[in-house]
Homo-oligomer: A and B are copies of this chain.
């Protein structure tokens, strides 16, 4: 268990600057390619036209080429006859104009009188309807400057200018070595302890997006000599090498030692979170980077460091970062030691863009999928208060965000179904959901973070659902309810109920391991309401304090025998192949500020949940009564 200490805790900008300057001129070798195959390539020298376009005087119209001096006296009352071959030549658009002619009369202005004779009734000016040589492109003219990334229209102009081959930067080959004894290729027969290797696949497709060529090597076990051999081979074959995992300070992390032995480590440890244990070095003057194993850490190292190196091979320094200003919905704490990358969801709620922080764990791949943007909290700042204006680096388009319904509240699988059907139906609107429980949803509406909040809040006094909570907490807001479903809550247990649980009392009397939903969730309230009625003390439930955030998490824990039972809805139990002991019905509805009821997106959402397609999906999930779905209840 010999531990290594990170060499430095260097700031990101400084680390990148140091590393890039240490690497020196990265620009790739140049190669000549056919212009027709050059889309998205970067030219390494300016492209000048080799010929003019058009390279001869040509007709701009369908008509006849003639000599203007022969037409000067033409008028309605003095129509002039012209004879083909002698006075004119029939030309189509693009045809060359012979030297003896200086003008084109368009076909619409001709009166055809025989096979080879026309009358004209207007004079023609010299050079009329003629595209002069070089009108579009003049020989020797700059078409695109160095380091320009080629677009389709550039290909057209280069070919028009006689440039059939161009010099571009070679695409750099980036080697990727996944390491780890516990790492396995994606497969179906996984066993406990296996970790699916997917970082290299994410890196590969990022590298392709940035214009490089990924070369992914096979997984290497945690063995110093094996990793060293793989690194040496990759350094020979590639322009840059990434070694994944093995850069934290774990027992079996050899990347640091290997890079030090074969070349030099320039930086180990960067003051960012996630991503700090990255290693930046070089072997044989080629960059080699040790990338942390946690997917989110890996992502930020790729995006903030490797991207700049790879773009450097292509001679590209600047890149567009789309930034928008948003209002932070909650306070975010941050470490003084690190620049912190916080993934956020964004929503146009009313006239404000609201940024809501997502799960900050370095292993949370879904936080990257769901993130709309990244909030960077600088080092030496302890946190940012709710309501602050913050700059967000966008990960999705503004239009995407504008067309997204922000749904914050209680979790139910039907939310995923509604999200999918909404986008399938409209191809325009998205529904993004955060699962923070019913009370979390109420609070999100209160602070203007959400468009809708799915809730199932049981009034402990009256036994009524939802309305009393809205009145109590959102009395100052003008809220309506879109009716959702009645769903069955119950106890989830393993298939065939091996412990033979039949009621909430059994959980106490049989001393089984329970797993609970978080405070503020409707299911927690449902439990508390029912144990209160039964005079059960929560302290007598083993695991009452162990909290999960979704029905599916509870079901997954039970399925994995990690707990013996938990409370949740029928559809989640069914999805996980569990048995289910029904305890009662509850009303799962959508609270919505009335002002949003007339927005197109919410109208489409209501259409979707009222649709036959949606009801069919509910039937497949099971355990839902949707007789009132989509009805609006004013409060």
Asked if residues A93 and B293 are in contact (CB atoms below 8 Å), the reply is: yes
Which of A200-208, A278-286, A325-333, A479-487 is the interface stretch?
Answer: A200-208
- Is the C-beta of A94 less than 8 angstroms from some C-beta in chain B? yes
A201 to chain B, nearest CB (A): 5
- Among A3, A204, A430, A560, chain B packs the most CB atoms within 10 A around the CB of A560
- Is the C-beta of A534 less than 8 angstroms from some C-beta in chain B? no
When all copies of this chain in the complex are counted, the total is 2
Which of A151-159, A261-269, A456-464, A497-505 is the interface stretch?
Answer: A151-159
- Is the C-beta of A51 less than 8 angstroms from some C-beta in chain B? yes
A203 to chain B, nearest CB (A): 8
- Is the C-beta of A424 less than 8 angstroms from some C-beta in chain B? yes
Asked if residues A96 and B192 are in contact (CB atoms below 8 Å), the reply is: yes
Closest to A515 in B: B132
- Is the C-beta of A224 less than 8 angstroms from some C-beta in chain B? no
- Is the C-beta of A62 less than 8 angstroms from some C-beta in chain B? yes
- Complex Cα–Cα for A196 and B156 (A): 10
Query: Mostly helix, strand, loop or mixed at chain A's interface?
Result: loop
* Residues of chain B with a CB closer than 8 A to A142's CB: 416, 419-420
- Is the C-beta of A90 less than 8 angstroms from some C-beta in chain B? yes
Asked if residues B557 and A134 are in contact (CB atoms below 8 Å), the reply is: yes
* Residues of chain B with a CB closer than 8 A to A53's CB: 196, 365
Asked if residues A136 and B423 are in contact (CB atoms below 8 Å), the reply is: no
Asked if residues A57 and B139 are in contact (CB atoms below 8 Å), the reply is: no
Interchain CB contact (< 8 A) of A147 among B316, B416, B427, B552 = B427
Interface residues on chain A, number (Cβ under 8 Å): 124
Closest to A139 in B: B556
Closest to A397 in B: B320
* Residues of chain B with a CB closer than 8 A to A139's CB: 552, 556, 559, 575-576
- Complex Cα–Cα for A193 and B55 (A): 9
Closest to A363 in B: B136
Asked if residues A318 and B107 are in contact (CB atoms below 8 Å), the reply is: no
- Is the C-beta of A385 less than 8 angstroms from some C-beta in chain B? no
Interchain CB contact (< 8 A) of A186 among B35, B196, B250 = B35
Return the 8 tightest CB-CB contacts between A and B, nearest first. A159-B198, A317-B427, A142-B416, A138-B552, A39-B205, A152-B205, A156-B202, A153-B368
Which residues from chain A sit less than 8 Å from chain B, CB to CB?
1, 3, 35-36, 39, 46, 48, 51-57, 60, 62, 90, 92-96, 107, 112, 126-127, 131-148, 151-157, 159-160, 162, 164, 182, 186-188, 190, 192-193, 195-196, 198-199, 201-206, 208-209, 248-252, 293-295, 299, 315-318, 320-321, 361, 363-366, 368-369, 397-400, 403, 413, 416, 419-420, 423-424, 427-428, 430, 546, 548, 550, 552-553, 555-557, 559-560, 562, 572, 575-576
